[in-house]
Amino acid sequence: MSNKENFKKTQGMKDPQLKKRILMSAIGVLICGISVGMFKRAALGVDPFQSLMSGLNAVIPISFGTLYVIANLCLLAFALIFDRRKIGLATLINLFFFGYIAEYTLKFLEKILPSLSLPGRLFLLIMAVVIMCLASAFYFTADLGVSTYDAVSLIISEKQSKVAFKYCRIISDVICVVLGFLLCKAGGFSLAQIGGEIGIGTIITAFFMGPLIAFFNERVARPFLFN
DSSP structure string for 24-85: HHHHHHHHHHHHHHHHHHHTS---HHHHHHHHHHHHS-S-HHHHHHHHHHHHHHHHHHH-GG
Per-residue pLDDT, 119 = 94
Closest CA to 91 of 145, 141, 137, 142: 145
* Number of other CB atoms surrounding residue 147 within 10 Å: 26
Integer Cα distance of 214 and 116 in angstroms: 32
Integer Cα distance of 88 and 93 in angstroms: 9
Integer Cα distance of 39 and 122 in angstroms: 10
Q: Tell me: pLDDT of 77 over 70.
A: yes
Integer Cα distance of 40 and 38 in angstroms: 5
pLDDT band at 193 (very low <50, low <70, confident <90, very high): confident
Per-residue pLDDT, 148 = 86
Integer Cα distance of 164 and 194 in angstroms: 31
CB 11 within 8 A of CB 90: no
* In the chain, % of residues over pLDDT 70: 93
Q: What is the pLDDT of residues 41-59, one digit of tens each?
A: 999 988 888 889 989 999 9
Give the single-character DSSP code of 188. T
Q: Between 146 and 178, whose confidence is greater?
A: 178
Per-residue pLDDT, 4 = 47
Mean pLDDT confidence for 131-135? 92
Q: What is the pLDDT of residues 4-42, one digit of tens each?
A: 444 444 444 467 788 889 999 888 988 999 999 999 999
| Cβ within 8 Å of residue 58, ≥6 positions away | 183, 184, 186, 187, 188, 189
Per-residue pLDDT, 7 = 46
Q: Tell me: pLDDT of 158 over 90.
A: no
Integer Cα distance of 191 and 193 in angstroms: 5
Q: Provide the H-helix boundaries in 97-117.
A: 99-112
pLDDT band at 194 (very low <50, low <70, confident <90, very high): confident
Q: Between 70 and 197, whose confidence is greater?
A: 70
